[in-house]
Chains A and B, each alone.
Chain A
């Protein structure tokens, strides 16, 4: 039985070398540090401060998104969290999905759904209208 592991530095897999995985690794650490502040701040305000989730309703959201500060906060959190989570999911799919076809389609599903959620969230923040209804 032949082995599927390439010999180190054999060059067989190094034809299209890129630093993508290195940048991905670095992105996880940089976005992680920023997300600690954005997400823990978000959780503290939404779940703990001043009555927590019990006080949240449409008017509360309208009040917050009238300020560019919270719009930028939420937009940064949306993009960073989904890209950080999406890259984490990509790593997990690469680790556990062994068949090439399965791995490919799981990743396609991941990319399409993540792009959809980022797009939807961005649209909602930019087109929010407090006077609807």
Chain B
């Protein structure tokens, strides 16, 4: 049930706006969420890598956690977040610098979604093949 106000509707994306509603708004929301997530991971990642200055054993121990099934799954999520942020970043640059960018911003959203899927499907396979093998594989 929606209230009909002349010239104003909450559901449809108004013409001529980029960030109010629809693909333009939700990609903006996702861009922020993925950006913040990756930024926090960067802190953790620099700290774990810094253990190479402590000892080889300390580094190998922390890296071993990255090889466990649950953290492996989190890595897939991280790669998915980085890929979205990267592809949508290209979309933002095209909106800003390409004269036809704003007009095609909606189509570009579906193009980056398709590229994201095309990269993620083989990506998930190669990232998780060891984990799947270790959990369900018949051979050692």
Contact = CB atoms under 8 A, between A and B. Distances in A.
Interface of A: 29, 32-33, 35-36, 39-40, 43, 47-48, 51-54, 56-59, 61, 78, 81-82, 85-86, 88-89, 92, 113, 117, 120-121, 123-124, 127-129, 132-133
Nearest to B49: A124
B53 A127 contact: yes
A31 to B, nearest CB: 10
Interface stretch (B12-20, B89-97, B103-111): B89-97
B45 to A, nearest CB: 9
Interface in B69-101: 72, 75, 79, 82-83, 86, 89-90, 92-93, 96-97
Contacts, number: 96
B1 interface: no
A133 B55 contact: yes
Interface of B: 32, 35-36, 38-39, 42-43, 46-47, 49-50, 52-53, 55-57, 59-60, 63, 66-67, 72, 75, 79, 82-83, 86, 89-90, 92-93, 96-97, 123, 126-127, 130
A78 B43 CA distance: 10
A53 B93 contact: no
A53 B66 contact: yes
B63 A121 contact: no
A-side interface mostly:
helix
A56 B66 contact: yes
